[in-house]
Amino acid sequence: MKFGVSLVPHDLKETAASARLAEDLGFDYIGIPDSQSLWRELYLSLSVVAGATSKVGIGPTVTNALTRHPAVAASAIATLNEMSGGRAYFGIGSGDSAILNLGLRPARLKEMQEYIEAMQAILSGQSYEYKGREIHVKWSENPVPIIMSAEGPKTLGLAGGIADAVIVHSGLSKEVLVETIAKIREGERAAGRLEGSAKVWAFAKCNIADRREDAVDEIKMALAASGHHAFRFTLEGKNVPEHLQEAIMALQGEYVPSEHEQLGDTRNAAISDELGLTEFLADRFAVVGTPEDCLAKVRTIEEAGVDNLLILAISSDSDNIIRRFGEEVIARI
């Protein structure tokens, strides 16, 4: 199994230093999330990462199908691919804080499919009719791997049928992962693709400390973000215990997009405790706790059939997470 880390770009000098550290410690991929209202600009941040590294894959984790026209996004990712020596990938989802803070709705399945098909075509030097108009990026002839974020059964099926890899954010238990991967394989078969054509990336919130409770406490806002994102459309087919379903639905109304993944004493940091969801969300969406806790969770994820594990290092000292995960988890796999 390979490993990636998503770096939140609060400060570009710090982001560059974190990227170098991650590469040195054996991470294979580095991503930058896209949320224009909260963090530094996506592609400028990725160019900083490209300049600070020489081996790791780099790309959005993830952007969306609404705030950038596919021709604009294709030109940006193709430029990044060129300047990094062919290391770019393009991660895309239906949209979260980037769109919610603009008052937009998430992209629908048909919109996601059209957007990805447009990206695949124009990155290969072809033209594509997008929303009634032919678009192209004339100078790009090198495809970039498309990695689609997915949670629900229909989205997982679409991703299996169209993407080079799928970032799954539906949960990290072996049972949930096995069911999730099965939906991706169904999508591959429906599209006439070979099984395994779409690699599986599991996405996990991550924190490491000497005591599990300390590690969990620092990332409660990130756990709330996972619960909000994964269950925002429906609970159908998502393995939520019946006694927690009411609390999960309440989380959808309580979550504050303008404070998405923000550190400190925020409303989002308090929600999971108030609703009695903290332990459920930590078990479901995080690699968190002592190094031994994290190592055991990673081995479970690997046994389920995941190809890559992408962690989000979000804390007051994200480099500490990167360092400890590299030295105390990756080095022992």
pLDDT tens-digit profile of 17-48?
999 999 999 999 999 999 999 899 999 999 99
pLDDT tens-digit profile of 312-332?
987 889 999 999 999 999 999
pLDDT tens-digit profile of 213-229?
999 999 999 999 999 98
In a domain, 176, yes or no: yes
In a domain, 46, yes or no: yes
Mean pLDDT of the region 65-94: 98
pLDDT of 315: 84
Look up the pTM and report it. 0.94
In a domain, 105, yes or no: yes
Q: Is the preceding omega at residue 62 within 30 degrees of 0, hence cis?
A: yes
| 22 within 8 A of 322, measured Cβ to Cβ | yes
In a domain, 222, yes or no: no
pLDDT of 265: 85
Q: Which domain holds residue 69?
A: 2-211+287-332
pLDDT tens-digit profile of 283-304?
999 999 999 999 999 999 999 9
- Give whole-number Cα distances, 247 to 79, 118, 235, 252, 272, in Å: 44, 39, 12, 9, 9
In a domain, 244, yes or no: no
- The CB-side HSE value for 166 (13 A sphere, CA atoms) comes to 31
In a domain, 112, yes or no: yes
| 293 within 8 A of 137, measured Cβ to Cβ | no
In a domain, 327, yes or no: yes
Looking up residue 71, the CATH number of its domain turns out to be 3.20.20.30
- pLDDT band, very low/low/confident/very high, at 101 (cuts 50, 70, 90): confident
In a domain, 114, yes or no: yes
User: For the chain, how many structural domains are there in total?
Assistant: 1
